[in-house]
């Protein structure tokens, strides 16, 4: 195993650093591991919450600002694109300049961009500031992991990452509930304004608590060409995934961007073997456990985010629940992640990551299979069972895969490792939504005309079939104004039955992806550089 020497830099007037294992009398709370965890959790919560809370506000934004459907989609896509493309580079900035500084800049920028969105009076400004949210969020997330890695001793790192994962899971799942309450009882601007006081709290805590740990052999230069090549490759990949539903998976434009992405990654890999201080030393991937952790994070995100994407439509459009009620139905998922993440951290510390990770992906596979059996008449108790099982499965994977990636990277690359972890999750989520969306679209398109005819409804014209299929893909019945109630009821039944068949197929594909991930889990092992964290070689 390896160890790294770190230098604690508190900055002018910050006073001496505290011992990493706890606050030392007379030295205050600066650098205290558990208070560091609380501080980064506040900042991370802001970014994780924003990933789902905004979706609830989109209809109100469209109505208030007169936005088209395509423009509303870009409220999400602009944020995600900026975040995914910037994460690894942002992690490198933290390794170079210190994770404390990049975390605080990220918090300030994210909160400021959020406030600017709330004050925006045009959809163009909203989308522009969403890009800034993504860029500053990318600074914040890897820095949080870098701070935890450098602050916690090896025997407590898994527990810290467990609580970190709990905050992300709870914030992500709780976003629709909080967003629904704010939009219904305040306004859509409040969804963004809420980040301002949270950001102020995170900055205040960060200035008081966080200690800047830097590896003695931290990078001293920037691989500018590497940054450009990687950013271009990531942009082409994510752009292709975002636009594939519109262009078609067989479309020329889709494949041009996919080929461009592959070429960009190939050029990046070649360049990284030539530069003195590469953005990502390719030797990092000689670690089979680290590479397996990255793959596992991608597969988990495909199954989770891709599968859960359709559940919100199922709850709201098939069962007719309000956004708040739909969010409440997902509380078993949130609750199990809150309870399971710290427990997973303890278990991984005791027995290593392989068994908990395999168990987690097995639970995820079973939960996604269970979700493939949902229908129009499924009750809340059965839904809660599968949602709870999904939360139970996700908790050890979120914790374990993160520890495997960050713990198997040298301390001077902890920011890059944190960026890899977050980028893998973001790309996996985009891939899951795109691929499972294609599965849903194919199934709905193949079944709708036949189901329509079996119900004795008038045949759909070619001009009607396309829009009807798009509506059914999100669980909406394509009922025209003035349709007689009896016919409207038949159309609704056909739409919901067809949507459920598509969701079932997509859930089975997600279950298959999770099953493959079980075998990947057995390639992982405890971080070889875990002891490079706090308490080792501080000077």
Q: What is the pLDDT of residue 10?
A: 45
Q: So what's the pLDDT on residue 519? A: 93
531 band by pLDDT with thresholds 50, 70 and 90: very low
- Mean pLDDT, residues 42-67 taken together: 79
Could you give the residue ranges of the DSSP H alpha helices within 248-287? Answer: 252-272
The predicted pLDDT at position 335 comes to: 82
What pLDDT does 353 receive?
86
- Which of 22-31, 381-390, 486-495 has the least mean pLDDT? 22-31
Question: Residue 307 forms beta bridges with which residues?
Answer: none
Q: What is the mean pLDDT of residues 264-290?
A: 83
Q: Does residue 522 carry a pLDDT above 70?
A: yes
pLDDT-based confidence at 301, cuts 50/70/90? confident
% helix / strand / coil in the chain, to the nearest 5? Answer: 75, 0, 20
The band of 449, judged by pLDDT with boundaries at 50, 70 and 90, is confident
- pLDDT, residue 535, reads 37
Average pLDDT score over residue span 472-501: 85
pLDDT band at 167 (very low <50, low <70, confident <90, very high): confident
In the predicted model, is pLDDT for residue 69 greater than 80?
no
Helix residue spans in 213-329 (DSSP H): 224-247, 252-272, 288-313, 323-329
Structure tokens at 373: 């059996």
Residue spans of alpha helices (H) in 455-537: 462-472, 485-521
Q: Please, which residues bridge with residue 9 across strands?
A: 212
Nearest to 272 by CA among 284, 261, 260: 284
Alpha carbon distance, N-terminus to C-terminus of the chain: 20
The pLDDT, as a whole number, for residue 196 is: 92
CATH match of 6-222+277-442+504-532 with 1.10.260.40: no
Q: What is the pLDDT of residue 290?
A: 83
What distance in Å separates the CA atoms of residue 234 and residue 278, rounded to the nearest whole number?
A: 17
The predicted-structure confidence for 202-240, as pLDDT tens digits, reads as follows: 999 988 888 876 656 655 667 788 888 888 888 888 888
* Residues above pLDDT 70, as percent of the chain: 88
Contact 430, 242 (CB under 8 A): yes
User: What mean pLDDT comes out for the span 172-188?
Assistant: 79
DSSP annotation of 524 reads: -
What's the CA gap between 301 and 289, in Å, rounded?
A: 18
Residue 414, sorted as left (phi over 0), alpha (psi -120 to 50) or beta, turns out to be alpha
Cβ atoms of 8 and 536 within 8 Å: the answer is no
**Predicted local distance difference test score (pLDDT) of residue 82:** 84
Per-range mean pLDDT, top range of 56-70, 159-173, 174-188, 346-360: 346-360
Average pLDDT across the chain, whole number: 80
The tokens describing 10, both together, are 């508190």
User: Averaging pLDDT over each range in 137-146, 215-224, 322-331, 363-372, which range is the top one?
Assistant: 363-372
Question: pTM score > 0.85 for this model?
Answer: no
For residue 465, pLDDT over 80 is answered with no
Angle at 137 between CA 343 and CA 525, to 5 degrees: 35
All residues at 6 or more sequence positions from 273 whose CB lies less than 8 Å from its CB, including other chains: 282
Contacts of 189 (CB under 8 A, 6+ apart): 117, 118, 119
Domain ranges of the chain: 6-222+277-442+504-532
What is the chain's length?
A: 539
Is the per-residue pLDDT at 112 higher than 90? yes
């Amino acid at each position: 195993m390896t160890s790294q020497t770190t230098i604690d830099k508190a900055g002018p007037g910050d006073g001496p650093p505290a011992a990493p294992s706890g606050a030392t009398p007379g030295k205050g709370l600066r650098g205290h591991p558990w208070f560091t965890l609380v501080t980064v959790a506040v900042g991370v919560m802001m970014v994780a919450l924003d990933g789902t809370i905004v979706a609830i506000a989109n209809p109100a934004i469209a109505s208030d600002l007169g936005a088209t459907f395509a423009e509303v989609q870009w409220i999400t896509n602009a944020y995600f694109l900026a975040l995914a493309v910037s994460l690894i580079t942002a992690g490198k900035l933290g390794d170079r300049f210190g994770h404390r500084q990049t975390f605080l800049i990220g918090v300030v920028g994210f909160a400021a961009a959020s406030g600017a969105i709330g004050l925006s009076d045009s959809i163009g400004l909203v989308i522009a500031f969403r890009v800034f949210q993504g860029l500053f969020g990318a600074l914040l997330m890897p820095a949080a992991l870098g701070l935890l890695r450098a602050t916690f001793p090896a025997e407590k790192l898994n527990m810290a990452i467990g609580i970190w994962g709990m905050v992300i899971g709870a914030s992500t799942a709780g976003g629709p509930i909080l967003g629904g309450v704010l939009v219904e009882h305040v306004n859509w601007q409040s969804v963004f304004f809420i980040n301002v006081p949270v950001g102020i709290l995170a900055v205040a805590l960060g200035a008081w608590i966080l200690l800047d740990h830097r590896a003695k052999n931290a990078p001293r230069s920037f691989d500018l060409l590497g940054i450009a090549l990687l950013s271009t490759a990531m942009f082409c990949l994510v752009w292709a995934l975002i636009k594939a539903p519109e262009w078609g998976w067989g479309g020329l434009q889709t494949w041009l961007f996919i080929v461009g992405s592959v070429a960009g990654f190939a050029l990046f890999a070649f360049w990284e073997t030539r530069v003195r201080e590469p953005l990502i030393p390719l030797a990092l991937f000689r670690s089979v456990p680290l590479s397996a952790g990255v793959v596992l994070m991608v597969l988990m995100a495909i199954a989770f985010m891709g599968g859960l994407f359709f559940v919100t439509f199922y709850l709201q459009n098939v069962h007719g629940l309000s956004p708040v009620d739909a969010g409440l139905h997902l509380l078993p998922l949130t609750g199990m992640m809150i309870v399971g993440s710290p427990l997973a951290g303890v278990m991984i510390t005791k027995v290593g990551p392989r068994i908990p990770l395999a168990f987690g992906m097995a639970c995820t596979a079973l939960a996604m299979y269970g979700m493939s059996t949902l229908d129009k008449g499924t009750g809340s108790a059965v839904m809660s069972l599968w949602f709870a099982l999904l939360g139970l499965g996700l908790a050890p994977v979120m914790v374990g895969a993160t520890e495997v990636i960050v713990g198997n990277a040298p301390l001077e690359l902890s920011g890059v490792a944190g960026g890899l972890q977050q980028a893998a999750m973001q790309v996996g989520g985009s891939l899951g939504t795109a691929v499972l969306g294609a599965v849903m679209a194919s199934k709905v398109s193949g079944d709708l005309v036949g189901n329509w005819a079996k119900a004795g409804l008038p045949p759909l014209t070619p001009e009607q079939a396309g829009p009807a299929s798009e509506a059914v893909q999100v669980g909406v019945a394509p009922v025209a104004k003035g349709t007689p109630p009896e016919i409207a009821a038949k159309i609704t039944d056909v739409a919901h039955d067809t949507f459920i068949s598509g969701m079932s197929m997509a859930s089975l594909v997600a279950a298959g992806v999770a099953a493959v991930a079980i075998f990947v889990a057995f390639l992982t092992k405890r971080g070889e550089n875990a002891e490079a964290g706090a308490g080792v070689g501080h000077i």
